Structure 1
Amino acid sequence: MDKDLQKPAIDAVTTVGVGHFGVGADYDTETPLFRVEAGHPMSHAVEQATVLICAVHKLSDLAMGEVEEGPTLLTAIHYLSGMAKALAQDVNHGLMIRSVAE
């Protein structure tokens, strides 16, 4: 049996647009502030999530030693980690949909 038929390439699977973070106005969880756009290759989404997590790691190291800039660094950490979470959530959902469809 051909290996390409057994397992789809990750680029054949795309983001589905369900990954999100940030609450909307008045803490409305039904309309998030940010959402992953559907249609991007999963490999790109995973790569970008990795870049964001690396930035979060570096910023968290810096935040532990910074007294004056701590709040600013923690805000950046919060948003970057939320973006990474949204990408991971979307990748997971896309892969689950793909596996159920097969």
Structure 2
Amino acid sequence: MRYDTKATPKIVPKTWGIGSFGEGVEEKASHRLFRVEPGHDGDYVIEQALLMMHCAYKLTGEASIEPSESKVSAAHWITGMAKALLEDIAHGLLMSPSTSSGEVPASRT
């Protein structure tokens, strides 16, 4: 069976503002240093996450050849940012069809 892209509308969620990263005081998940802002277009967010992962890939590759604590630390933070973006978009995709179309709940704006 062939998948017909014209018959199936593309669902592009927006960010919800739940993705976060960066350990805060006492390394509690509720005290993260950074959080994704709600309302950003999903396609753009995924593109940015892919760019971040590419940068982290390059940094870790260089650090494996010539050890560098700063490159490893940078890769750690970059992957944390990318993970937060993708978690946020995944949340939007897992929500009901009525909310995954990009409508950010009023309580999150």
More helix by share: 1
Deviation at 1:9, TM superposition (A): 4.2
What is the aligned residue count? Answer: 95
Q: How does 1:19-34 map to 2 (within 5 A)?
A: 19-34=19-34
Moved more, 15-24 or 25-34: 25-34
* Alignment partner, residue 7 of structure 1: 9
Letter in 2 for 1:74: V
| Cα offsets for 1:41-85 (capped at 9, x unmatched) | 000110000000000111011001113xx1111100100000010
Moved more, 57-66 or 92-101: 92-101
Query: Are 1:59 and 2:59 matched, yes or no?
Result: yes
* Identity within the alignment, %: 35
| Cα offsets for 1:5-62 (capped at 9, x unmatched) | x42442xx21001111112112222121111110000001100000000001110110
Letter in 1 for 2:80: G
Query: Are 1:85 and 2:83 matched, yes or no?
Result: yes
Q: TM-score, normalised by structure 1?
A: 0.82
CA contact (8 A) 2:92 2:99 kept: no
- Runs (4 or more) in structure 1 with deviation over 4 Å come to none
Q: TM-score, normalised by structure 2?
A: 0.77
* Structure 2 gap segments, 5+ residues each: 1-5, 101-109
